[in-house]
Amino acid sequence: MDPGDADFEAFVAARGARLLRVAWLLTGDAHLAEDLLQSTLAKVWPKWSRISGDRPEAYVRKALVHLHASWWRRRWRGELSYADVPDAAGAVDAYAHVDLEQSLAAAVRALPVRQRAVVVLRYFEDLSVQDTAAALGCSPGTVKSQSSRALRSLRALLPERVDGGDRCG
């Protein structure tokens, strides 16, 4: 086995779970998340020997976000609404009796693609403004403004109280 393959496999074993959670937050669906992750890893693997020495996780995370944005831009999708099928990606209803996971996923999914990426990188991956900007290929100022807008949108979309009335934090 190529030594690079072993290193790649070790990386996937160690960081795959976390990256999958990032992908879930981007896509809102477990199947889509795994698909996004595997597609990202497939793109990265052939270049692994070049990137493995220098913050590979940052590289893979960036690739994940960019691939998701690319899928989002290129998708040809029709909205489907038919009576007999559950609405798989319905609108966020802050007053519906949904659990935290679904409401959060829906709220983040309702954000524009760039704001969604900023939320994922800054507040889930806990990257700095500078690192987020580097991952997204934009300026720190843009990251800050997108962060503010995302926070405002999420406050409007998410239920005011969670966990039986206690505010988290």
Partner 1 sequence: MTAVGEPRPGSDRPGGRALDPDRQDRQDRQDQQDQQSQQEQQELELRVLLERAVPRLPDPEGRLAGVRERVVLARRRRRTAGAAAATVTALVLAGVLLPGVLRGGSGPVLPAAPVPSVSHHDDDGGRDDGDGRDGRGATPEPSRSDGQDERVRFPQLGGLSLRLLPGWRAQKSPEDAVSGPYAHAFLANQPLADHPPACDTKELTECGPIVSLLPGGALVSIAPASGDARSIELQGLSELSLAGSPSSFCRNIGGTKEYGALLAGPSNRAEFTVSLCLGGDSPVVVEDVHTMIASADFVTGPDEPPTNGSTATAATGSGPTHSGPTFSATPPRNAK
Out of 3, 53, 86, 165, name the contact with partner 1 by CB under 8 A: 86
Per CB under 8 A, does 39 bind partner 1?
Answer: yes
* Rg of the chain in Å (alpha carbons): 17
Per CB under 8 A, does 59 bind partner 1?
Answer: no
Per CB under 8 A, does 88 bind partner 1?
Answer: yes
Contact pattern for partner 1 over residues 125 through 164, marking x by CB under 8 A: -x--------------------xx--x--xx--x---x--
Pick the piece of the chain touching partner 1 (CB under 8 A) from 17-25, 49-57, 58-66, 133-141. 17-25
Alpha carbons 71 and 135: distance in angstroms, whole number: 17
* Residue pair 40/64 in contact by the 8 Å Cβ criterion: yes
Nearest 10 degrees: CA dihedral of 98, 113, 32, 105? Answer: -10
The residue count for binding partner 1 (CB under 8 A) is 63
Q: Of 36 and 133, which CB lies nearer to partner 1 in the complex structure?
A: 36
CB of 73 to partner 1, least distance (A): 5
Exposure letters 84-98 (e unless 16+ CB within 10 A, then b): eeeeeeeebeeeeeb
Per CB under 8 A, does 97 bind partner 1?
Answer: no
CB of 151 to partner 1, least distance (A): 6
**Residue 130 tokens, joined:** 């500078």
Out of 91, 160, 165, 167, name the contact with partner 1 by CB under 8 A: 167
Q: How far is CA 132 from CA 100, 108, 117, in A?
A: 26, 17, 9
The one-letter amino acid at 71: W
